[in-house]
Amino acid sequence: MKRRDVIQKIIDAKKARTYLEIGIGGGKNFLRIRASKKTAVDPNFTFSRRRRIEWTFRNLSNVRAKLYECTSDRYFALKKPTDRFDVVFVDGLHTYEQSLRDVINSLNHLNKTGVIIMHDCSPPDKASAQPAESVKHAAELNPSGCSSGWCGDVWKTICYLRSHRKDLNVFVLDFDYGMGIVTRGQAESYLDLSKDELDKMTYDDLEKDRNNLLNLKDMRYLSEFLGNI
C-alpha cells in the first residue's frame, strides 16, 4: 500500500467531493487521486505539461483539477471563508512552523466532518528529523545524506495539536514515515506540553516516547477509522 492508497481510501469512505493537496511536487499522488474537485498547491510544480495531459486521459478527475503555483500561505490568504474541503493532504515544507500553519489554515477551510492527512510525522532516524529551512538546507546540515529522506520536525505539529487543540482527535498511522490524521471531535487522549517545552524538544525526546507523543497506531487501525467516518 502506498500513501495515495490511504488518501484514496479516506476519500472513498467519506464519499468526499473536494480534495486539497499542499506540496504536490511531481504530482505522483495528486495526479492519481480520484475526487470530483481537486486542488493542488505548490510553489514549484516539477511535472511537465505533457505528464499532466497524459494523466488527464488516465484519470478524468484531472480534467477540472485546479493547480496553484504559489506558497500555501499565499493560497490561503486568497481563499474565501466559504471555500471548503472534505479531505486535505498536507505535505508541504517539512518544518514545525509551516506544517502547523498549513493545518490551522486547512482547518479554517475544512468541512465539519472533514479529514486532514499529514505526511512525515514519524521520522525514522535523527538525520531525517533534522530541523531545517528547506530540503537543500537539510542536505547541507547532513552532507552524508538521509537514506530515508527528510521529514523535518513535522512531528512537533502532532504534539502541539494534541496539547493545545482539545477539539481535535489526532493520531499517526505507523506507515510511510508517519501519516497523521486530524479530525474534529472528542480526542482519544491528550498531551500536556507547553509551547516552550515543545520548542525545546529534540528527536531524542521523540524516540524515547514515540508511541505516546504521536498516539501511534498500527496500520490495522485504518479499517476501524474508515468504518467510523
- Check residue 114 and give its pLDDT: 98
- Check residue 102 and give its pLDDT: 98
What three-state secondary structure class fits 77? helix
- pLDDT cut 90: percent of the chain above it: 79
> What would the pLDDT profile of 28-58 be if each residue is shown by its tens digit?
999 999 999 999 999 998 888 888 888 888 8
188-to-38, 95, 103, 159, 168 alpha-carbon distances in Å: 30, 26, 19, 14, 9
Q: Which three cell numbers stand for residue 109?
A: 477551510
Give the span between the Cα atoms of 135 and 168, in whole angstroms. Answer: 30
Give the span between the Cα atoms of 15 and 25, in whole angstroms. Answer: 26
Average pLDDT for 70-88: 94
> What would the pLDDT profile of 174-225 be if each residue is shown by its tens digit?
999 999 999 999 898 999 999 999 999 999 999 999 999 999 999 999 999 9
Q: Spell out the domain ranges in the chain.
A: 3-227
Q: Which three cell numbers stand for residue 75?
A: 493560497
CATH 3.40.50.2000 fits 3-227, yes or no: no
Average pLDDT for 122-131: 93
Confidence band, pLDDT 50/70/90 cuts, at residue 137:
low
- Check residue 25 and give its pLDDT: 86
Residue 132 has pLDDT above 90, yes or no: no
Residue 139 has pLDDT above 70, yes or no: no
